[in-house]
Chain A
Amino acid sequence: MAKEYLGEFEELILTMVAALQEDAYGAAISEEIETRLKREVNLSAVHVTLYRLEDKGLIKSSMGGGTNERGGRRKRIFTITSAGMAMLRAMKDARIDLWKLVPQLKMTGI
């Protein structure tokens, strides 16, 4: 298990980067979270988290193309690194291991 661990929001963002692939940039991620999870997120929070994940080496970034909608400004596209992928996988496995320890609920006694 990696020494570092991720917070809930960090994990969420990391997962989104992995899922969105070539389309993983700040505004898209926040929109995706809002539509899929019905969860209000602030753009700045997303950005800050992305930068932090980049500092940790879990994702890397490169400048992509601009669109008219953005006034021609370029996007910063994030891609997950193998370290990030390993971290994500490790976390998922750990969760599942822990989940298995939870006694299965029996529907008696209701």
Chain B
Amino acid sequence: MNQRPPIWTLKFLSWFCPDHLYEEIVGDLVQKFNRDVKAIGEKRANRRLIWNTVCFFRPEIILRNRFSYSLINTIMLRNYFTIAFRNVLKNKVFSAINIFGLGIGLAACLLIFQFVSFELSYDTFNEKLDRTYRITNNRFQNGKLIQHGTIMYPTIGPVMAKDYPEIEMYTRLMPGGGLNVKVEEKVFKGENSHFVDEHFLSVFTFPLLAGERTSALKDRYTMVLTERTAIKYFGVLDKNYSSVIGKVVYWGLDTQPYKITGVCSNVPENSHIQFDALVSYATLFSADNPDADNSWTWSDMRHYLVLKPGVDYKSLESKFPDFSQRYFQGDKVSGSVEKFYLQPMRDAHLYSDYEYDIAKIASGQAVWAMVIVAAFVLLIAWINYINLTTSRALDRAKEVGLRKVMGALRSQLIKHFLFESILISLFAFLIALVIILLSQSSFNQMIDGNLSWWRVLSEMNTSTTMILITVMLAGVLLSGFYPAFVLSAYQPVTVLKGKFQRSSRGQFLRKALVVFQFTSSAALITGTLIVSKQLRFMNDADLGINIHNTLIVQAPERTAWDSTFIQRVESYKYELTKIEGVVSAATSWSLPGDRVGRSFGIRLADQPSESHFTMSNMGVDHNFFDTYGIKIIAGRKFLPSDHRIDFQEIESVILNINAVKLLGLDSAQDAIGRQIIWGSDKKKIFIVGVVNNFHQQSLKNPMEPMIFGPAYSTYSSTSIKLENADKEKTQRIIADVRMIFSKFFPDNAFDYSFMEDRYKRQYNDDNRFGKVISVFTILAIIISCLGLVGLSSYMAVQRTKEIGIRKVLGASLFSIVTLLSSSFIKLVLLATLLALPIAYVVAQNWLEGYAYKITPGALIFALPVILILLIAAFTMSFQVMRTAKTNPADTLKYE
């Protein structure tokens, strides 16, 4: 007898196949199946049946379903198009406002989406991202947090990996700073390097183009270059990177050649670790001093752990207090109590607030703030759309009435209006794309990035795509649905009798939406004002240090440190000051704006030996305080006689006020002549002077206690104070400086910058945030105002007759203007009042991140209210005035 075909294939068919075709198609399939069974056997017949069934899953069949009815009903579709098109043209201003408002909103939203998705993509290229963690370290002295950092001792990684089986791999990194190398008689400077151990390339995904991943960084004096650096150093052609393997470079004055053992692809922009070259970790330890690697006090290493799959990092973290107790015994080993934590690498870019961080960081808060702003801009645009469409309901009411009389069903009308809104959204989307294309480069400039849609799309994963599409679709449908339902609900009888009036419920909703729009706008304005005021505050603040007109010349690292060095630098500085226009010159280990190192075991000589104080330290020469205009409060500045070629013989230090306070001394004067203990050899050193506190770092950081030693070094940059000079003169001075520099330090690359620019770089992230927020606030206001213009002009048109009668009866221009605008002004006022508390809370939250900040005063909250009211009044004024001025005879003559 007949074989039974597999039942699920028929079920599948019934799922998509139109009912009226189902029976015969199944019949044909079964008939064919039965004949196949006889001809070619059951197995192959089965397969053929499945294939044949699947083949029916084609548009020609599926579209014969009921829902496809309207889709293939091209006549109605064409009609919708025509009607929509006519409606757009009938009210050009209105449609333009509608479409442009939505277009601007979409564009703004999509631009921010680009930025945000880039920021969120950090480190995602790492294959082991989900299992990789940074170890972070807090240090406490006397119960107080003295360091919140990512640096710690070289032993931490290996010992943890030995103690805890959850750890699959560890790697250690120490920043090597700018490279200064000689390659085949050419000198290169400035490539950023890190010392990393041989696990580094296994923990992070920086694919090697040449060389062996596991062994490349094993031996002392080996280096891995990035593609870019390899091309720069060796002029590699045609990506033939293996040609540089085995070549050597000379670093600084080191006579030891560094061998190139690998070339890796360039570091992606969205990596929190950035480098141009990697140097093997083993290089740090000379053959005669391998013990340094076992140090529990030398803290310069960054550690990363890869955990085994399925390990909960929190539970591993909870074992770290024991670890700390076991190896550090309170503060007995390193002078401070050590606490260790794990930070998922996913958070390294956006959620890091560590000192001595090598990560490229940005504020996660700011990124999410932008997301919120984008969401609001888009919401405002959609609300505009809803408001404008429903406010025009009266225009369409007669059309709806007539359509219904002619037999249109409500569902058809809904479909019709939905179609129109989809069409308008599409237009808006096209405009948004054009806006994005036009503004991409200026946006990139603003955020100092290199974004484009191609890039975003190529890097996007499915979940973000889905979210984006869902949001867009939901927006289009929701903003389309409401007008569609309202418009299609009209009763033809009331509409066509001419007694139709807008329902008060619709009015209320419209008002609520206007309030929402202006609440968001006002909150954004307040936020923008606070952000910009804080930025201005930081830019204009008295730093306690004068960074203007200061030229910085990078250190002459390829110079021998010998007994003549101090003398040479002194003559070099002397010659610099001889240049016309140069006021003074100084050298220092670090520069204002740099994160300086800390010393942990400082105390006064007469304090008990178990007391420890922590201060930031800086080696400066005797011209430093003068050059930067730092005020001496007590004692004296450094003298040339304070300098020693051997650091062990240094006998004088200078403190800042905070350091004096930290040591528990009463006054600056009190500190002069006292001795302190600084350094591992417990030598007593005299305090010879006290300087005022100054902002060594940006105003985000508090001013720390600082200790200054009189020191020169081959790693000291030169700060050259200039007189006020025009560009041309400055260029001349720079040329002279270059000449003198190369006279004293031949074989060194000359590299200069300006202090002010360097210092302001600390605010890059904040400035970027400020700019983006202000631009999008302006956009939000523009869109809100567009909506207000549309709405008010429409209201005004509605009331022309009423106004005509009022005027005939003697109403003044003023009273009519008040009448027309008061309802909106009231709404806007209410909106701003609602916005203030929201803005206040958010702003306070944001200001938390700054050690020195403004206190938002009454003015900063009053200003947005006034501003918004003015803007709203201004946008409405044209329309209102025009309506109020019309001659009543013109409007009433038709009655």
Contacts and interface: CB of A to CB of B under 8 A. Distances in A.
Interface of A: 25-27, 30-31, 42-45, 47-48, 51-52, 63, 66-71, 73-76
Contact of A73 (B23, B32, B58): B23
B24 A26 contact: yes
B32 A43 contact: yes
B27 A44 contact: no
A68 B27 CA distance: 10
A75 B35 CA distance: 16
A69 B31 contact: yes
Contacts of A63: 23-24
A38 to B, nearest CB: 15
B31 A27 contact: yes
Most A CB contacts (10 A, CB to CB) among B32, B61, B64 go to B32
Interface in B18-47: 21, 23-32, 34-35
Most A CB contacts (10 A, CB to CB) among B29, B58, B61 go to B29
A73 B30 contact: yes
- Contact size class for B? 20 to 34
A75 B24 CA distance: 5
The 5 closest A-B pairs by CB, nearest first: A73-B27, A27-B28, A44-B55, A76-B24, A70-B27
Given A26-B25, A27-B31, A70-B27, A43 B52 contact: yes
A20 B58 CA distance: 27
Contacts of A51: 21, 60, 64
Given A43-B52, A44-B55, A71 B60 contact: no
A75 B56 contact: no
Contacts of A76: 21, 24
17 contacts: A25-B28, A27-B32, A30-B32, A31-B32, A43-B29, A43-B32, A43-B52, A44-B58, A47-B21, A48-B58, A63-B24, A68-B2, A71-B30, A73-B24, A73-B27, A73-B30, A75-B24
Contacts, number: 70
Contacts of B23: 63, 73-74
Contacts of B24: 25-26, 63, 73-76
A42 B25 CA distance: 13
A63 B20 CA distance: 11
Contacts of A69: 2, 30-31, 34-35
B27 A47 contact: no
Given A43-B52, A47-B56, A26 B64 contact: no
B27 A75 contact: yes
A74 B27 contact: yes
Interface in B488-529: none
A49 to B, nearest CB: 9
A37 B61 CA distance: 26
A55 to B, nearest CB: 10
Nearest to A49: B60
Given A26-B28, A69-B30, A73-B23, 7 more contacts: A27-B27, A31-B32, A43-B52, A43-B55, A70-B27, A74-B24, A76-B21
Contacts of A52: 60
A31 B31 CA distance: 11
Given A51-B64, A52-B60, A45 B55 contact: yes
A47 B25 contact: yes
Contacts of A42: 52, 55
A76 B23 CA distance: 9
A30 B55 CA distance: 14
A16 to B, nearest CB: 14
A103 B35 CA distance: 46
A62 B635 CA distance: 113
Interface in B377-393: none
Nearest to B56: A44
Nearest to A63: B24
A70 B31 contact: yes
Nearest to B27: A73
B31 A48 contact: no
Interface string B163-174: 000000000000
A74 B21 CA distance: 11
Nearest to A42: B55
Nearest to A72: B27
Contacts of A47: 21, 25, 28, 56, 61
Contacts of A30: 32
Contacts of B26: 71, 73
Contact of B52 (A44, A48, A68, A75): A44
A70 B30 contact: yes
A75 B27 CA distance: 7
A30 B25 CA distance: 13
B139 to A, nearest CB: 74
Given A47-B61, A51-B64, A52-B60, A71 B27 contact: yes
Contact of A43 (B21, B28, B60, B64): B28
Contacts of B2: 68-69, 71
Contacts of A26: 24-25, 28
Interface in B49-90: 52, 55-56, 58, 60-61, 64
Interface in B737-794: none
Nearest to B53: A44
B31 A67 contact: yes
A73 B10 CA distance: 13
Contacts of B60: 48, 51-52
Contacts of B21: 47, 51, 76
Most B CB contacts (10 A, CB to CB) among A30, A44, A67, A74 go to A44
Contacts of A43: 28-29, 32, 52, 55-56
Contacts of A31: 32, 35
A48 B61 contact: yes
Nearest to B1: A68
A44 B64 CA distance: 14
A71 B7 CA distance: 13
Contacts of B61: 44, 47-48
